[in-house]
Amino acid sequence: MVRVAQRGDIRGLVISASGYTPAALQMCRNQLQLGVFVLCELREIVMWLEREESPSEHLREKVRRAQIDKQPLHLTA
């Protein structure tokens, strides 16, 4: 997160296979003031690929939610 924040107009993506703790979610929400950080769960990516959906579309929605709604973890269905 520090490296992303220091680079200006860069976005960060963190993928977890085991989910996120409430403390990690809060820390990421706080960091949204410095840059865009998107949290994603591995199961989401697998689900997109199984359905042959475009990961880029889902990631764009996640970035939008992080920027506008200050919600770094938005689980897509």
Dump pLDDT digits (tens) for 23-71: 989 988 888 877 788 999 999 999 999 999 989 999 999 999 988 998 9
For residue 76 the two structure tokens come to 């897509």
pLDDT of amino acid 31: 83
pTM: 0.81
pLDDT of amino acid 16: 94
pLDDT of amino acid 11: 80
pLDDT of amino acid 43: 93
- The whole-angstrom separation of Cα 10 and Cα 64 is 14
pLDDT of amino acid 5: 67
